[in-house]
Structure 1
Amino acid sequence: MPSLDRRRFLRDAAASTALVTAGGLASTSFGAPAQAAPAAAAMPASATRRPAPVSFRWWGTAGWRVDIGARTVLVDPFLSRIDTGLFKAAFKETTPLEVNTAVVDSYVDRAETVLVTHTHWDHFMDVPYIAGRTGARVFGTLTAYHLGLAYGVPSGQLSAVKGGEVMDFGDYTVEVVASLHSRNVSYSVAFPGVRVNPPAKPETIADLPEGDTLNYVLRVAGGPTVFFMGASDFVARNLAGIAPDVAMVALNSSTVTADYVARLMAALDHPKVVVPVHFDNFETELRNPLTVAPSDRTRLDQLIAAVRESSPRSRVLVPEYGTAYHF
């Protein structure tokens, strides 16, 4: 049996013992427990212990809260959801960056690790405030590092990564995967550019460039392997051998990336569960039923159909805000 098929067989056999649930264990609010808990110290991965309970909550856009026992990992947490006019055909590049601290505080009671895929406002804007409030360590590109410094985040809380790193946190590991940002119909990236030195403190959304893009692979001890995307492009060669159980897949913003879904499913070895993200109107309040622009609804339907065609063994789960999923 070829090695890839063997790995997929073992992975699917293990995954088939658990169901993705969204009912009885759903959170009664989109936030976490009211009492903040200190971040747990990392333990050696080899330590003998019972696997911690794990839940995944979608916070809209590409944002996730992952609770692994008493430990919390955030991915691209964007909760302020400011109005830039993007979904009204009146986009303003000069829109001020205004963190809605009351909203963020209602969701974020704790975090020890924040994973940033790229530094556009709808992925990074709330991160410096969250880092200051929780003391979390922020992982991201060199641009994320320098932008963090510009916001006053201590350098000791900022970790620049490039791709290829596999970091051990005891109850979980995080692998960083170098990736690409999606392109619009003009084959361009919005707000391109990197920051090789700390700039002035950003004031508008245009002050937060893409800054290169990363994917992350979260492997929970005794639990699932989960792949996180923040933008809808990728380097297929960089995904070889990951074979996640669950893939959080960004909705493609255009069709200029050739065979996006089919190539991605093949590169990820056809995940057991595929979860579309970044399909919602992220400038509206974070509540269900969520708002989806008509054009994005069409693209979401097309993405689901493409997954089912190119990876029929995969199950598609369209998430709701704040629901606790257990993979």
Structure 2
Amino acid sequence: MPSLDRRRFLRDAAATTALVSAGGLAATSAAPAQAAPSTNAAAAAPTTRRSGAVSFRWWGTAGWRVDIGDRTVLVDPFLSRIDTGLFTGPFNPATPLTVRPDVIDAHVDRAMTVLVTHTHWDHFMDVPYIAGRTGARVFGTLTAYHLGLAYGVPSTQLSPVKGGEVLDFGDHSVEVVGSLHSRNPSYSLAFPGVRVTKPALPATIADLPEGDTLGYLLRIDGGPSVYFTGASDVAQRNLTGLAPDVAMVALQSATTTGDYLPRLLKGLDYPKVVVPVHWDNFETTLENPPTVAPNDRIRLDNMIAEVRRISPRSRVLVPEYGTAYHF
């Protein structure tokens, strides 16, 4: 049982219980695509305070759509969900990068900002298309910046960050947190590497390296503070003082990373709500109920049990695709 301090007790007592809206993907998905806002409008720093509701929709993997009044923030949007053989075997690193505008356009009608945790294909592949369609500003590592240039995204829409930045958008802010990518059973990771100059146009999933990993803390004026992860490792010291209300926590992919959940939850001061992500088969269609591989189902069940053991005051919310959650 984690120790509780007075600050934590008062914060929990004052926090609003997370409300979950009913309904499946079809009932709660984003509206059909409309005309995209201009690049200049997306790049301008907002000065008004929020008016309207705040909702969070999970798009599978580590992807989220956050609507803050009439503005939209996307995190790791990956909707094309191409088949690489990762879940059915054999895995093919030479799988062509195939963006599916018909699928993306059905969900993305607008975006002001896109937050990229790292540049593996299942986090970054759809981002350049979305940036071109909406004029959104893309935040990510220097690798994300150079990959964006390779795709033809204007430099005026690309904002490289490294961790420590606090970005003010008027009715909400984003704090960038240096983080780590998860390790595989060989204590390594898929497609390591960074891009320090503009590369050739990526053609296969292997052309999108990890490129360093970030976390993001979204603080909403009059709303919750939410921490987003994109991979299952953590630089615990970087989390000091964040204390989010909600944490979107990636499923641990291998046991080679020691004490992942204990370090993460302690570093985040045991959030009120923990939402597991990156547990679904992200190479299947975006339909509820989410498809999950048998081994990942076991890992998910173990994760839920471990969160409840480590942080019994936390509520665990297992999301469905496209459902609007209000925290």
Short-chain TM bin: over 0.9
2:87 is paired with a residue of what secondary structure?
A: helix
CA distance in 2, matches of 1:14, 1:160: 36
> Matched residues in 2 for 1:72 and 1:50: separation?
12
Q: Aligned partner of 2:170: which letter?
A: G
User: Measured at CA, do residues 239 and 155 of structure 1 come closer, stay the same or move farther in structure 2, by a change above 3 Å?
Assistant: same
Amino acid at match of 2:232: S
2:206 aligned residue: 206
Is 1:113–1:137's contact at 8 Å kept on the other side of the alignment?
Answer: yes
- In the TM superposition, residue 20 of structure 1 has moved relative to its aligned partner by 2.2
**Structure 1, 293-302 or 35-44: larger mean CA deviation:** 35-44
The Cα of 1:76 is off from its aligned counterpart by: 0.1
Residues 234-245 of structure 1: pairs in structure 2 closer than 5 A: 234-245=234-245
Residue 28 of structure 1 is matched in structure 2 by 27
The letter for the 2-side match of 1:31 is: A
CA distance in 1, matches of 2:157, 2:50: 29
**Match of residue 66 from structure 1:** 66
1:90 maps to what in 2? 90
Cα distance change of structure 1 residues 83 and 221 upon mapping to structure 2, 3 Å threshold: same
Retained in 1: the 8 A contact 2:32–2:106? no
Contact 2:141/2:160 (<8 A) preserved: yes
Distance 1:33 1:102 in 2: 11
| Counterpart secondary structure, 2:306 | helix
- Using the alignment, how far apart are the partners of 1:198 and 1:37 within structure 2? 27
Runs of 4+ with deviation above 6 angstroms: 24-27
Q: How many residues align?
A: 320
Distance 1:152 1:187 in 2: 35
Please list every run of 5 or more consecutive structure 1 residues that lacks an aligned counterpart in the other structure.
none
Q: Which residue pairs with 1:161 in the alignment?
A: 161
Q: Is the 8 A contact 2:32 2:105 kept in 1?
A: no
* Runs (5+) with no aligned partner, structure 2: none
Spell out the pairing of 1:13-52 with structure 2 (5 A cutoff).
Answer: 13-15=13-15, 17-23=16-22, 28-32=27-31, 34-36=33-35, 38=37, 42-44=45-47, 52=52
Report the AA paired with residue 22 of structure 2: G
Q: Which has the higher mean CA deviation after the structures are superposed, 28-37 or 5-14?
A: 28-37
Work out the CA distance in 1 between the residues paired with 2:36 and 2:226: 24
Are the counterparts in 1 of residues 33 and 107 from structure 2 also a CA contact under 8 Å?
no
Equivalent residue number for residue 116 of structure 1: 116
Distance 1:24 1:88, change over 3 A: closer
Cα separation, 2, equivalents of 1:29 and 1:83: 26
Change over 3 Å in CA distance of 1:36–1:309 after alignment to 2: farther
Tell me the TM-score normalised to structure 2 length: 0.94
- Identity, % of aligned positions: 75
Is the deviation greater in 4-13 or in 245-254? 4-13
1:52 touches 1:171 (CA, 8 Å); kept in 2?
no
Q: Secondary structure at the match of 1:145?
A: helix
Secondary structure of 1:269's match?
coil
Post-superposition offset of 1:143 = 0.1
Q: Does 1:312 align with 2:302?
A: no
The answer to whether the 8 Å contact 2:167/2:175 transfers is yes
Aligned-residue offset at 1:10: 3.0
Q: How does 1:264-275 map to 2 (within 5 A)?
A: 264-275=264-275
TM-score (norm 1): 0.94
For residue 217 of structure 2, what is the amino acid of its counterpart?
V
Given that 1:51 and 1:222 are in contact with CA atoms closer than 8 Å, whether structure 2 keeps it comes out as no
In 1, distance between residues paired with 2:150 and 2:205?
Answer: 15
Q: CA deviation at 1:171?
A: 1.1
SS in 2 for 1:11: helix
